[in-house]
Structure 1
Amino acid sequence: MTKRFLLITICLLPLSLLAQSSFSIKGFGKAYKDGDKIFLSFRQGHQLIEDSNIVHKGSFEFKGTFNTTVRGYICRNDNPRYANELFDSFDVYIEEGQIILKSPDTLNNSIISGTPLNNDYAKLHGVLKPLYNKRKKLKNPGELKDDTSVNLNKAETTGVDNEIILQQFNFTDGHPNSYVSLLTLSQLARISKNLPRVEQSFAKLSTVLKMMPEAKEIIRRITEGKKITVGMMAKDFIQNDINGNPIRLSTYQNKYVLVDFWASWCLPCREENPNVLAVYHQYKEKNFTVLSVSIDVLENKANWLKAIKEDQLPWTQVSDLQKENDAAKLYGVTSIPSNVLIDPNGKVIAKDIKGKELRDKMAELLGAGK
């Protein structure tokens, strides 16, 4: 009777409790100081799991349980809730077993090992780390004094970014059974221009990975990305300008028009605005214009108007100021900045072209001279 009662009790326990596994993380750093505080955070469903530890004799350790394998985040002396790229931090995959982090100095320079996924991540990180370091050494455009230097710097940055993306795809294609590949593709899918290549790599993943929640989001982004493709006729829409006047895209017929999706709070968008502005001034007398669609919401309208003024954007700006912008949904925009270039016949001839690529495309269409 007792055995039967225990069996029934176990069957009634939540599956999450039955599926729990143990992990441990040991970190060693020659430059760590006694008293340094190490933070660990990772998600389990909708719950954020947080823990902290103190460095003692150059090492720290975490022990815990988890239900679902996820990527976690370790940070030294800074709360990960306010994380930024300047923090001394390192990603880690929470899985069963003992995970080892060894570093000659900072947490950033750790070498990770000990479990299958973290061994996979060590391979990917080993390839990407030199590229990230190279990118960091490139100057901030604001520090450069002339247009030639700015353009050269942007070209170098784009070259490094493209190499990072190439190496990420090389990894995912070579590791179709690794959860690291799934999360890498999830990251790559946030950039709409990557979506055709993401679709190819996603198809190579194992069936198990394709059934995971992260896979559903990748599929959604791929599907959205196909709403507008090069060669299609542009889809018409109407949105109000900053004065509340309705603007219809199709009224721009017989012109080249760059439909630019952005927002005042989007730093990459704001960084690209000077490039779009330069292209606009160079070709505005050659049958070219820009129509910007902001995905700012009504509560943020003042910031939208302020950003237009600060960035000195002279072309028409529209938005419906809704939580989900209808034009962005129509065009399958899943991340910003994003754009489509439409020819005078209303056909989409380019998509998500920025920086030098945008300048080169316009020079090809309308000539490099002013």
Structure 2
Amino acid sequence: MKNILIALLLLPAFVFAQTKGFTIKGKVSGIADGEVKLTSTQDAHQVLATGQAKGGEFTLQGTVPEPSLLWLVMGAEQPIYIYVENTEIKVTGTKQDIKKIKIEGSSSQKDFDEFQSTFNPLIGELNGFAAQLQQAGESKKEKLMVQYDSVVSQINKEVGNYVANKKSSYVAPFVLFVTAQLNPNPTQLEQYYNSLDAPIRISNIGKSLSEFIAYSKVGSIGTPALEFTQNDTAGNAVSLSSFKGKYVLVDFWASWCRPCRAENPNVVKVYNKFKNKNFTVLGVSLDQEKAAWVKAIEKDKLTWTHVSDLQQWNNAVAQLYRVQSIPQNFLIDPKGNIVAKDLRGEDLEKKLCELLGCN
């Protein structure tokens, strides 16, 4: 579970309210006498409740604002994930088989156990293929990628099934969180979120998920391109919306970026091939010196429109689109929606042939 639970570190700290509260009664034979505690799963591991184990028995009491995945720490034993809600919960088992501790009384724990039984084998299989890919030669990578992608598809299918059956469960947004890295489509993630019952959507974890989706949607395929205005080389303001009605490649680059300069001939080739087919390029430079920027445009024969605020990595458009490396590009359709991104070399030409035809 360690790998897929990493997304929990993104969640905000819990704020606790006075409610009926929870009582956790444990009977785990073999554990040492001493402190038992319930903590958050975040880096700070905030302690939410403490108790004393004696002869394997202990009691913890406290409150949570909503069902929450926490850690049960029994002395020096490996922490155990437990979904806590404000009810009476029983924890039973043995130190010798600590991974098979039984947790009863929490409906969220029941949903969590169902999640683990479905997803843990798939995640294990996925991690196995990932390890093989790191060691495999080029001849075997293609077959392994097909197998890897097949498992990813199965996981995403199971996510849809789980959410459809658990719309009123606090575990559903958790599942969406921890599997989000395997679903590159934030629009679909948003659809899953919107299908959840209202109390779940407005819960702490639901709100965190909503914020995560909003962040992920920026610059993603299928979403509207964000409007911007920046000056061209002559100091004239140019807006992205002025190109509406055309396919436009918003191309982030810089004169000092060697990979960008190496890619420029490909962009020139594509521009010349499709410029009469309702296509253009809008270059956004992360340069700092105007002279170097203009010189590179002339030398590389980049005859399309170029803009920059000459703030290098602080370029306002780059920050708007969360550009962290260059070259990077976004292909926008005539309606202003992003239809592709990060197209290089032949991939850019193939995509434009698909959209505009090559004859």
Q: Which has the larger radius of gyration?
A: 2
| Count of matched residue positions in the alignment of Structure 1 and Structure 2 | 288
Match of 1:132 among 123, 126, 129: 123
Relative to 1, partners in 2 of residues 1:132 and 1:99: Cα closer, same or farther, differing over 3 Å?
farther
* 2:222 paired residue number: 230
Deviations 1:179-215 (A, max 9, x none): 1113333445677834222222222322222332333
Residue of structure 2 in register with 1:158 after alignment: 149
Structure-1 separation of matches of 2:341 and 2:76: 36
Contact 1:27 1:100 in 2 (8 A): yes
Name the amino acid aligned to 2:187.
P
Do the aligned partners of residues 129 and 334 (structure 1) sit closer, same or farther apart at CA in structure 2, a change above 3 Å counting? farther
In structure 2, what is the equivalent of residue 48 of structure 1? 46
Relative to 1, partners in 2 of residues 1:203 and 1:348: Cα closer, same or farther, differing over 3 Å? closer
The SS at the match of 1:133 is helix
Structure 1's unaligned 5+ residue stretches are 1-14, 80-87, 240-247, 261-275, 295-317
**What RMSD over aligned residues (CA atoms) do the two structures have, in Å?**
5.8
Listed as ranges, the matches of 1:77-96 within 5 Å are 90-95=80-85, 96=87
Aligned to 1:63: 60
TM-score, scaled relative to structure 2: 0.55
CA contact (8 A) 1:259 1:340 kept: yes
Residue equivalent to 2:24: 24
- Which range moves more in the overlay, 145-154 or 99-108? 99-108
| Shift of residue 133, structure 1, vs aligned partner | 1.9
Distance across 1 between alignment mates of 2:311 and 2:131:
31
Match of 2:331 among 342, 365, 368: 342
Map 1:307-322; keep pairs closer than 5 Å: none
Match of 1:122 in 2: 113
What secondary structure is seen at the aligned counterpart in 2 of 1:117? helix
Deviation at 1:147, TM superposition (A): 2.0
Matched-pair contact (CA < 8 Å) for 1:341–1:348? no
Given that 1:99 and 1:118 are in contact with CA atoms closer than 8 Å, whether structure 2 keeps it comes out as no
Q: Distance in 1 between matches of 2:94 and 2:153?
A: 28
Q: How far apart, in 2, do the equivalents of 1:320 and 1:100 lie? A: 56
CA displacement at 1:146 relative to structure 2: 1.8
Distance (Å, rounded) in 1 between the aligned partners of 2:323 and 2:267: 29
Equivalent position SS for 1:161: helix
Alpha-carbon distance between aligned partners in 1 of 2:52 and 2:24, rounded to the nearest angstrom: 15
Residues 345/35 of structure 1: CA separation in 2 closer, same or farther (3 Å cut)? same
Change (3 A) 1:34 1:193: same
CA contact (8 A) 1:191 1:335 kept: no
Q: 1:363 to 1:218 in 2, by over 3 A?
A: same
Structure 2: gaps of 5 or more residues: 1-14, 232-237, 241-245, 254-258, 272-280, 287-309, 354-359
| TM-score normalised over the length of structure 1 | 0.54
User: Residues 192 and 334 of structure 1 are in contact (CA less than 8 Å); yes or no, is this contact kept in structure 2?
Assistant: no
The residue that corresponds to 2:320 in the other structure is 330
Q: Secondary structure at the match of 2:65?
A: coil
Contact 1:89 1:107 in 2 (8 A): no
Secondary structure at the residue paired with 2:40?
strand
Instruction: Quickly say closer, same or farther: Cα 1:349–1:47, change in 2 above 3 A.
Output: closer
Q: Kindly indicate whether the alpha-carbon contact (under 8 Å) linking 2:222 and 2:338 is maintained by their aligned counterparts in 1.
A: yes
Alpha-carbon distance in structure 2 between the residues aligned to 1:360 and 1:90:
50
Match of 1:306 in 2: none
How far apart, in 1, do the equivalents of 2:105 and 2:116 lie?
A: 15
1:130 is displaced (CA, Å) by 1.0
Aligned AA for 2:60? K
